[in-house]
Structure 1
C-alpha cells in the first residue's frame, strides 16, 4: 500500500478513511494527531471562549476513529466531559456543540455509559443556547428510546427519572421546562408510560413558574382518540338485524314495516356506539397515585393564583376531570365555580362544561343543587336570548345525566315546559331533558309525559344515593335457549340459506302479540296508513304532551282523525309510486262502528302486552331464565348477537306503541357517555347558522347552473336593414364630428350678464336710430 506521509498530517479526512480500513498500518500517524490534539486542548482551555478550528477538526477526527484504538483513547471521552462540566456556559457555542456531537458519536459506538452522558446533557440544558438545547433534547429522547427498545432498562430509567425530578425543581426555568418536555415526549412515545413518570409530571402542575405549570396542565388535558369501527361490528349488526327479522318475515310488506326496520337499525347503531369501550391512548390522569390530595392541592393553588384567566381555566379543567373520573369530593369547588356562571362571563361554556364534568353519582345532590339553581336563574330565563337558554338547558342535562338525583320534580316540570317554546333551540334542549328522564327516571315526570311503557322501562331500577345495581346475570340472556349450545350446525346453514333467499329489504316486526294479524286486510292497511300519516305530522309538532296523549282522548277523536287521514293519504306501491288518490266520502254508521271496534281491539291487545311486560311475575321469570342461561354455558359471539337483538326489541316497540316524535340523534350519547364531557354537547344549538363567504358563493353558483348565460339582444329585428345615423357616425372622421362632440356648453352667470348687457345696448342703439 502506498503511503502519503507528506499529505496525511494535514489531510484528516483521508487519514480517517485509511485508519478505518487498516488501523495498524497508520498507527504512527494517529499517535501524531493525538499528541497534536493534547497540546491544542491545553492551549484552548486557557481561552475557552474563543473558537479553535484545529481543535474542532481533531475532536471530530478522534471521535470517528475511536473504535479503532479503544485503549489509546480510553481517557478521551472523560476529557471532553470534563471540559463541558468546567466551562458549561463560557465555552464558545460552536466548540460546545462540537464536543456534544463528538460525545454522541462515542455513545453510538457504545464507548460511554448512557447514565453519565445523559446526566451531563441534562445539566447542559441550562445553557443559554436554544439550538443546542433542541439538539440535546432530540438526542436524549432518541437514546432513551433505543435503550428501552428491546426491554425496559429499569435501572437506567429510575436513575434518570430521579435526576429529572430534581431538575424540575431547578432554579433555572429553562432547564426545568426542557426536562418536563422530555418526560412528556417519552410518555407520548410509550417509553416512560409508568405511574412514576405521571406523578413526577403531576408535581409540575403545582409549580410557581407559569411555563412549567401550563405545560404540565396541557399534558393532563389530553383527550382520548375515537375508536374506529371495525368490519366485525358490521357483521354483528347484520346478524342482529337478521335475528330480529326472523319472527315475521312472511308477513305482508308495507311502508309501516319498512319504518320499523329503519328504527331497529337506528337503535342498534346507537347501542353499538354506546357499548364501545373507550380507548385510552392518553390516560395519564388515571395513573395518579393520590388523586384526592392532588386535586385539593391544585385547587388551593388555583385559589391563590394570580395568573392570566386562561391559565386558571386550564387548572379548573384538570380539577374537574380529576373529580369526574376518580369520583372525588371537593365541596368548595362548586361554590367557587358559581361565580363564573354568568352569560356575560368569558368562556362561560367551558365553565358549564367543568360543572358537568365535576358531577358524578357519588356526589351528594345538595352540593350540586347550588350549581343547578345558578344555571337556572342566570341562563334559563325569558330575559335571555334563545342561545343562552339552550346552552343552560344543555348544561343541566349533562349534569343530570351524571347525577340524576340533583333534579327535583318541580324544577323538572318547569324545564320541560319549554318544549313548547317557539325557539327551536330552546325547544330541542328541553326535549332532550325530557327524553333523558324518560329513560333514567320516568317516575319524576308527570304521568302524561312518561311515554308509552316498554319492557326496558319495566326492568329499570331507580337507584338511591350510593346504591349499586349489581346483576348476577347477563341482561337479555333469557332470549337464549339453554339447549341451543349443542345445536346442529346444518340447521344454522339452512337458516342462513333461508335468510339469503329472502329479500334484502325485509322488514322487522318486533311485536310480542299476534292480535294485529287477526284483523282483516283492509283494516290493517288503513291502520298502517293512519300510523304513517301520524308519524309524518307529529314530527312537526312541538308539544309532546299532545303527542303522548291518553288512550281515552285517542278513542274520542279517532273517527275525525281517520276520516281526515283517509282523505289526504295516498296509497303507495312498493317502489314508492302513487297508485291512486283516495276521494273523501262520508262514512256510514256501520263503517264507523266497525272502525271503532277495530281500534278498540288493537288498543286492548296493546294494553295486554304492556300489562304482561310490567307483570312482576313475568319479570322475575325472565330474570330467573337469564341467570340460568348465564351460569349454564359459555356465551359465544352469536349468542351475544341474539341478546343484543332481544334488548333492541325491548327498546323499540315492546308495546306496539307508535313512536310519534323524533328522538334526538345523540340520545344514547346523553345517557351512556364517556368519562369526559364534550364541549359540543353544551354548545349544541339547533339553529340555521349563517353561511360563510365560500359557502354562499357555492350556493350562488349552483343556482346559476341551469340559468342561461346573459347575452345582448340584437338591436334590429331585421339584420339586413340599413344602418342608423348613430351607427354611421362611428365610421366618420373625428374632425367632422368635433363640433358636435363638444355639445352645448353652459354659460356662466357672468357671461349671461355680459350678453344681456350687450343685447340691451344694441336694442337701445337701434331705438335711437329710428
Structure 2
C-alpha cells in the first residue's frame, strides 16, 4: 500500500505512537527507519567525535518501539553497545549520554541482561564526564532496587556483588569509588545489608590505597549520627503547644503573645509530623563484622604507619575506638598512642577524649588505662588551666569511668572529687557528676562523707574486681509482685486514721513507704536520723582510733575505759542494723528467684518491678525519679556533648549582643507613632504634623476653640458676603 504525501518518516513521535497502537499496519515505515539508522550509523563511525542529532533521534525511536518487532530488533542493542565500547572516550558527551539512555530503555524491556549493562557502564567510568557518572550511579542503584522489590534472587545478587567487589580492587580510582558509593547506598536502602557486603567494605575499602575510597569506607562505619542531630534540636521543640494555646484564651491580647501562638502552631505541626513518621532503625554496620579484633589491629597498624592527613587519622581512631567499646576488644597499644595526644592545645582534643571514652570497657586492665587517666588529670584538671579545660577533663574522666569503673585509683578519684566546692560552677558540676556516678556504681572508692545516704540499691552493690561478671538468675525487684497490688478504701481510711493518731501521740514524724507505689514520702526527721547515724558511725571510728592511740601512750584510765565501752556498744548496734539489712536483701533475692522460676511476667508486672527498682535508689534520699533513670541509661557510643557539657553562661561580646538585638527585631513592626497611613509615601495631616512642631508655634491652638456669639457670627457672615461681591 503506497501512501501519497506521507509525512510520517519526518514525524517520528507520531509514527512511534501509531506503531505502538498497530504494529503490523506500519511495518513498512518501521523498516524504512531501520534502514535510515544503518546508514546514519555508518556515517557516524567515520567521525564519532561529533554530536549527530539524527542518530540520537533514530536510536531513541527504535528503542521505544523495539518490543513491537522482536525479530527485527534482535541485534539492535549490540550495535549500540559496540559504539560505546569502541568509542567510549572519544564520543561527544551528549551523544554518549543519549546512547546510554537508549540502552537503559532497552534494559527496562529486557532486551539486555543487567550484568552486561553493568559491565559496560563501569567501563564508561573512564570518561571525563561527571554528569554521566552520576546518571549511571543513579540507574544502577534504581535497577538493583527494582530487581529486589518483590523477592530477592540470591544467586543473581551474589553474581552482581562479586562483580562490584572486583571493581573495588580496580586500579581506576573513579570506578572503585563509584562501586563503593553504590554498595553503601544499597546498604542504607536495606537491599544489600548483609554481612558479606559489610566485610568486603571493611577488608577492601578501609585499606585501599586511594584516600577517597578509604575515607568513604570509614564514614560508612561511623554512620550518619542522626541521633545527635535530633538531640541538638532547637528550643522551639521544648514549647508545650497545648498549654500555650489554653493560656492565650484568658490572657490579654498582645503582639508578643500572638507571635508565640503562631510559633506554637508551627511546633505542633512538626510534632504531629514526627509522630506520623515511621521510626527509622539505623543498625550499625560495626555489629556485622566477622573478625572485629583482626580488623581493629590491622587498621591501627595502618594508621600508625600512614602519612595521611590528621582528619583521616582521626576517623581511623574513631572507628577503632567504637570497635573496642562495642565488641570489648583488647588493643593495648591504642591507649599509650592516644595518651600522647591528650593535651589542651591539641587540635580536636574533645573528640580525642571522646575516643578514649568509647574505647573503655570493663575488661580493660586498670594498669593499661591508668596512664591515660593520669595524662588527663595532669594536663587538664589543674588550676593552671582555664575552668573550661578543667570541666572538659572531669567530664572525660566521668565518661571513661562510667564504662570502666576500675580505670581510676582510689587516691586519684578522691583528689578529683575535691573540686566539688570549686568557685567556678562548670568545674563544680563536673566534679559532682563524678561523685554521683560512683555513688551508683562503687561507693566504697569515695570518702565516707561523699558516699551519700545509704539506700537499698547501694546496699545491694558489691565491690567489683577485675573480670567480675554480675550475672543474676532472677529478675531484680520481682519480689514486689507478692505484695498486694490494690488497697481497698477501708484500708486506706484505717491507714489515714493510724497516721493521725501517730502524729498526735508521737513527737517525731514517721515515714510511710509503700512498696507498690513509685512515689516516696520522706520527712525531714528521717533525713536527720539517717545523717545522724552516718555521722555517729564516723565519730565512732574516729574516737576508736583516738582511744587506741591514747591507750598506747597513756595507758588504761577509768574514763577512757567507759568511753570505749560506749563506743563498742554503739558499734555493735550499727553492725546489727547492717546485718539486718543484709538479711533482708538476701531474703528478697531468694523470693525473687522463686518467683522467676514459677511466674510468667506481664507488662504490668514489669512496670511494677521498674517502679520498685527506682524506689531502691531513692529510699532514704530526697531525689527525683527522672534523675535516677537518666543516670542508669548509657548508650553504646559516647556523645561529644557529654564531654563538652559546660555548666556556664558565656559572656557575649559586642558583635554577639548586636546580632541578638537585630534578630529580635525581625518580623517586628517599626517602633514609634503609628499614623495609620496605608501608603507611607502619602502626605500627613496638619494634626499629625503639629506633633513634630515647636510648642511656641502651636501654643495659640492649644487653648482649643472659643465658642463665638451669635452677633460675632453675623458680623463674620456679613464680611464674607461683602468680600464675595467685590470678587465678582
**Same fold at TM > 0.5:** yes
Structure 1: state its 5+ residue gaps: 230-277, 485-490, 503-507, 539-544, 555-603, 724-770
Counterpart residue number, 1:676: 637
Once the two structures are superposed, what CA deviation does each residue of 1:485-539 show, in whole Å capped at 9, x if it has no partner? xxxxxx97x97xx79xx9xxxxx99xxxx999734389568999x9999999x9x
1:634 corresponds to which of 600, 603, 608: 600
Cα deviation, residue 226, structure 1 = 4.6
Specify the SS of the correspondent of 1:9: helix
In structure 2, relative to structure 1, the CA distance for the partners of 1:546 and 1:312 (3 Å cut) is: farther
- Cα shift readout 1:550-578 (whole Å, capped 9, x = no counterpart): 25899xxxxxxxxxxxxxxxxxxxxxxxx
CA shift for structure 1 position 431: 0.6
Once the two structures are overlaid, the 10-residue window that deviates more, 314-323 or 304-313, is 304-313
Distance 1:721 1:525, change over 3 A: farther
Task: Tell me the residue number matched to 1:593.
Answer: none
Is residue 225–residue 279 contact of structure 1 (8 Å, CA) maintained in 2? no
Structure 1 stretch displaced more, 608-617 or 433-442: 608-617
The residue aligned with 1:351 is 352
Asked if residue 44 in structure 1 is aligned to residue 10 in structure 2, the reply is no
Matches within 5 A, 1:80-159: 80-159=80-159
Residues 663 and 548 (structure 1), Cα distance of their counterparts in 2 relative to 1, 3 Å cut: farther
CA-to-partner distance for each residue in 1:306-352, whole Å, 9 max, x for gaps?
Answer: 12211111111111111111111111111111121000111100110
The reply to whether residue 643 of structure 1 matches residue 606 of structure 2 is: no
User: Does the C-alpha gap of structure 1 residues 614 and 159 become closer, same or farther in structure 2, counting only changes over 3 Å?
Assistant: farther
Question: How far is 1:669 from its partner?
Answer: 4.7
Aligned match for 1:520, one of 476, 482, 504: 504
**How many pairs does the alignment contain?**
589
Point out the more displaced range, 178-187 or 712-721. Answer: 712-721
Instruction: Give the Cα separation in 2 of the matches to 1:535 and 1:221.
Output: 50
DSSP-derived class of the 1:299 partner: helix
Worse overlay, 465-474 or 63-72 = 465-474
Task: Specify the alignment match of 2:20 in structure 1.
Answer: 20
Summarize the alignment of residues 142-221 of structure 1 with structure 2, pairs less than 5 Å apart. 142-202=142-202, 203-221=204-222
Give SS of 2:8's match.
coil
Per the TM alignment, residue 48 of structure 1 is displaced from its structure 2 partner at its CA by 1.8
What's the secondary structure of 1:363's corresponding residue?
Answer: coil
Q: Do 1:115 and 1:156's aligned partners in 2 also have CA atoms closer than 8 Å? A: no
Paired with 2:336 and 2:500, the residues of 1 have a C-alpha distance of 57
> Residue 426 and residue 712 in structure 1: after superposition, are their counterparts in 2 closer, same or farther (change >3 A)?
farther
Equivalent residues in 2 for 1:366-765 (5 A)?
Answer: 366-481=367-482, 518-520=502-504, 550=535, 611=577, 615-653=581-619, 657-659=620-622, 668-691=629-652, 692-693=656-657, 696-697=660-661, 719-720=699-700
CA contact (8 A) 2:617 2:628 kept: no
Partner residue in 1 for 2:260: none
Structure 2 distance, partners of 1:190, 1:684, is 35
Distance apart, 1:110 and its partner CA? 2.1
CA offsets per residue over residues 279-303 of structure 1, 9 Å max, x none?
8514111111111111111111111
Q: Relative to structure 2, which stretch is displaced further, 687-696 or 48-57?
A: 687-696
Q: How far is the alpha carbon of 1:440 from its aligned partner?
A: 0.4
Contact 1:320–1:358 at 8 Å: present in 2 too? yes
On the 8 A contact 2:199/2:289 being kept in 1, the answer is yes
- Which is bigger in relative contact order (C-alpha 8 A, separation at least 6)? 1
State the shift of 1:642 in Å.
Answer: 1.2
The within-5 A match list for 1:210-289 is 210-223=211-224, 225-226=226-227, 280-289=281-290
Partners of 2:625 and 2:696 in 1: CA distance: 63
Query: Residue 621 and residue 138 in structure 1: after superposition, are their counterparts in 2 closer, same or farther (change >3 A)?
Result: same
Q: SS of the residue aligned with 1:306? A: coil
TM-score when normalising by structure 1: 0.69
The Cα shift of 1:637 comes to 0.7
Q: How many angstroms apart in 2 are the aligned matches of 1:152 and 1:722?
A: 92
- In the TM superposition, residue 621 of structure 1 has moved relative to its aligned partner by 1.3
**Matched position secondary structure for 1:688:** coil
Provide the C-alpha distance between the structure 2 equivalents of 1:298 and 1:199, rounded to a whole number of angstroms: 14
Residue matched to 2:53: 53
What is the CA-CA distance between 1:546 and the residue it aligns to?
10
1:320–1:355: 8 Å Cα contact kept in structure 2?
yes
Are 1:106 and 1:112, in contact at CA under 8 Å, matched by a contact in 2? yes
Looking at structure 2, the residues matched to 671 and 110 of structure 1 have their Cα atoms a distance apart, in angstroms, of: 57
- Give the deviation of 1:46 after TM superposition: 2.8
Equivalent in the alignment of 1:312? 313
Deviation at 1:164, TM superposition (A): 1.4
Q: Does the 8 Å contact 2:453/2:531 carry over to 1?
A: no
For 2:617 and 2:482, locate their aligned partners in 1 and report how far apart those are by CA, in whole Å.
21
**How far apart are residue 481 of structure 1 and its match?**
2.3
Worse overlay, 713-722 or 72-81: 713-722
- CA distance in 2 between counterparts of 1:462 and 1:2 reads 102
How many angstroms does 1:700 deviate by? 8.1
TM-score by length of structure 2 reads: 0.73
- 2:362 is aligned to 361
Give deviations 1:625-650, integer Å, cap 9, x for gaps.
Answer: 11111111211111111111211221
Deviation, structure 1 residue 547: 12
Higher fraction of helix = 2
Encode CA deviations 1:110-130: one digit per residue, 9 max, x unaligned: 222212112221222222111
Whole-angstrom CA distance in 2 between matches of 1:549 and 1:658 = 13
Deviation at residue 210 of structure 1 after TM alignment: 1.4
> How much has 1:417 moved relative to structure 2?
0.6
For residues 549 and 326 of structure 1, the distance between their equivalents in structure 2, rounded to whole angstroms, comes to 41
After superposition, give the CA deviation of every residue in 1:118-149 in whole Å (9 maximum; x if it has no partner).
22212222221111111111110100000001
Q: Distance in 2 between matches of 1:365 and 1:309?
A: 29
Any gaps of 5 or more consecutive residues in structure 2? 232-278, 513-520, 540-569, 675-690, 704-728
Q: 1:405 to 1:94 in 2, by over 3 A?
A: same
Q: Report the equivalent of 2:336.
A: 335
Tell me if 1:30 matches 2:15. Answer: no
Distance 1:195 1:316 in 2: 23
Does structure 2 retain, via aligned residues, the 8 Å contact 1:226–1:279?
no
CA change 1:548–1:374 in 2 (3 A) is farther
- Residue 541 of structure 1: aligned partner: none
How big is the shift at 1:304? 1.6
Q: Once superposed, what is the RMSD of the aligned Cα atoms?
A: 4.2
1:62, distance to aligned residue in structure 2 (A):
0.4
With 413-422 and 51-60 compared, the bigger mean Cα shift is at 51-60
Please say if residues 444 and 463 of structure 2, whose CA atoms lie closer than 8 Å, have aligned partners that are also in contact: no
Query: For 2:576 and 2:605, how far apart are their aligned partners in 1?
Result: 26
CA 174–697 in structure 1, closer or farther in 2 if over 3 Å, else same: same
Structure 1 residue 192, shift from structure 2 partner:
0.9
Q: For each residue in 1:432-453, what CA deviation from the matched residue of structure 2 results, as whole angstroms up to 9, or x when unmatched? A: 1111111100111112221111
Instruction: Give, in angstroms, the shift of residue 364 of structure 1.
Output: 1.1
